[in-house]
Structure 1
Amino acid sequence: MAQSVLGSLTLGYRPLWGRQRTLAAVQLFVHEDSEGVDGQHLLRTLSELRTAESPELLLSLRSRDLLAGLLDHASAGDPLIEVPLDWLGDARLRAGVHHARSRGVRLVARGDATQPLPQDVARCFERRMTLLSAVDAGNALRAALRARESAAFGRLAPRAEGSPVLPNSVVEGVASRALADHALDQQGAWAIAGWPVEDAVHRHAGQPLPPSRRALVQIMNALDEEPSLDQVEQMLGEEPTLSYRLLLYLNSAGLGLRSGIASLRHGFMMLGYRSLSAWLAEQLPQATDDADLRPVNATMVLRGHLMEHLMDAGIEDDLRREVYLCGLFAQLDLVLDEPLRTSLARIPLSDRIVAAIVHRSGPYAPSLQAALAFESDDPALLRAVRDTCDFAPEDVNRALLRTLASGSLQTSRRLNANTA
């Protein structure tokens, strides 16, 4: 049997966050491990692993030959393809851009804010992807300030003049909430690459992040319809703060349960829907409408699902839930603003979870290390994890693509979108 193209690649990913602070697309970094990867085979593999419910993909090829192969074979229904402006001096790629666009292929031109699009290919691109330097970021924030001052004096300024952030673009290098607000809300950018997590959680420094108010209300409304246990588990599991708070409550002395509860499903089975709904209502006074926390939560959820796919597909449901919690709580320190060891000691999680998160050891550690390494455009990092943990490239790449195409990720997108 012919070797799969996924065995010759190193993949990484980065979420692209849209104006509602929900997932607009996923940028898929594609590095060749050996020369001669077949672009047509890659496109076919991606198509086979995706469904109509999968989020948009932006393919960022780190090989000119592989990019040329995709431009030769892609069709209008394939993922977005990034074309670095620095590479357009290559006559073969320049011709490939024209031919691909004539077939309806959707292309994204990537470069820094000072790079103009060559006139002969300008119409071939659906949008720009702009990398902001520190100087560009400063210029953008000053333009935003001028626009706000003009609006304060009664002169409407829906967009800031002189900003390097273009409408309908994808913006890289966004390191602050203020710059994210400027790009998405003021300039009408399509998405920003990555999220300024540290700045987003800074306003809550010194206290745990609050749960989403709309998510709380949605779960309470859903409980009135007596959903399945799977549905309840999925909804609660997409709110890291809420999941942690519920485990604390389930194991509190006041509740009086006789044994430690380490599973969300076990917990709400013992509580019942009515008591669970009442507990959720008690969380409302501390809830938030801060949309900037949505990418923080969604990233943790995505990591949990990726760990599920990285582990053996044959594991039983209880272990699958445990693996998911391991990924969900891997960066719980961001949510609770305290050391991981302290947070995890308050709830009776399995030793396997604690060992993986705190000590980077035990049976879950390799999958957690791989899940974290995937969140990067550094192929050396993931290759090192693969070698250390004895992962086959095809296995980990397939796990990533299945996660990005999965219905569970789509559910997270819908839940977060409804909180807008």
Structure 2
Amino acid sequence: MELRITATSPEHPAALLDLPWDVPLVDWPESCLVALPRGISRHVVRFARAGEEVVAVKEVGEWAAVREYELLRDLDRLAVPAVDALAVVTGRTDPRGEPLEPVLITRHLDGSLPYRSMFETTMRPSTINRLLDALAVLLVRLHLDGFAWGDCSLSNTLFRRDAGAYAAYLVDAETGQLQPGLSRGQREYDLEVARVNISGELMDLEAGGSLHPSVDPVEFGTAIAERYAELWHELTRQSVYPLAKRHYIDRRIRRLNELGFDVAEMQIQATPDGDAVTFLPKVVDAGHHQRQLLRLTGMDAEENQARSLLRDLETWMMTQEDYAPDDPLGARPEVLAHRWVRDVFRPTVRRVPKELRGSADVAQIYHELLEHRWLMSERAERDVGLDATVEDYLRTVLRPRLARAAASGAGGAAGEEAAEAEDGTSAPDTAPGLAEGTVRRGLTGPDGV
């Protein structure tokens, strides 16, 4: 039997060949592994370094590995928040020629954590609510694209910070099915599975003393259905507006944008008596602010981060002498945005030492600076400016946060999350509606800042 690597990119097989495929995954040497927090899985999973990338390697049967590989590739084409499938390795044998289980290889999602790592210290109920918001958004996003998960749970999800909220990513598509559309019964089945799984996972945390005493596992498990129903209704409901108030349509679109969705296609039809307009968002897509920021600046950030940065960009634009949106001779928005990145964003972020950033990317750091500036300005009853904000943020937020993480001994991303959960120093919730999770692959600036 010959070793076979089926990969999504030509460079991946060469990088993967150096890994010890003739050794069962459970026995891989520490020299090729990367120490990262792992969630609960039915299969053996390890993190390893392949070239310049960190990958997750999961042992699973060949049929299941190939099927999940194809499903994850389909979800990537649909821009659904999920881990990236890189390869399937089959034909593995040990030195005696005995067959070993095939593996599925996915790219490690930088800055993400399994939910158990986030509960290493008691997490506040408000933070748990944000995790459930993110999971509800992910489930709605999957259902809109015709994906029935079949095993929605905290264990099968990775979470990463997105401004003041969280973004959720599907990490296990083993039980999923992709169809042209889902029936109400299929969606309700996914919701029931989610409710049971989440309640059980929270009960498990409660038994281990890792759950806040005010959190009722059953109540929080049921809440996922309420969050889902609210978002699904807002995205798919049909509305009738009087002809004299057609601007209500614009208001509805803005509401969808605030939830992190963009209206890609609308169906507008006059009623038979001609006195009203029926409005139905026919197709929606995620990442409205994310795409706008990418178009203007070339930066690829999470949806809530992008919303925060765009708000600052637009405010800054209005202070520029050549800002004239209605004048064809005025500076184009792309030109002003490039100037903002060069003269404001990058110089500000570079003033935050890398050793103090932890696992936070530059978009998250800038968002937190904006939130800190707002709080300082509210107290001072005037705009304090970015210079004073950076100095105070380093002194009162980042250095104490790093000290708490070091003192706790947790270290890394999990340590930072634990420190925030203990004393509430995480950035406040700023995004309206539910937290939106979208696929993110890093900033695209020449130096990453």
Identify whether the pair has TM-score above 0.5, normalized to the shorter chain.
Answer: no
Larger strand share, 1 or 2 = 2
Q: Provide the TM-score with structure 2 as the length reference.
A: 0.25
Q: Which has the higher contact order (CA 8 A, sep 6+)?
A: 1
Q: Provide the TM-score with structure 1 as the length reference.
A: 0.26
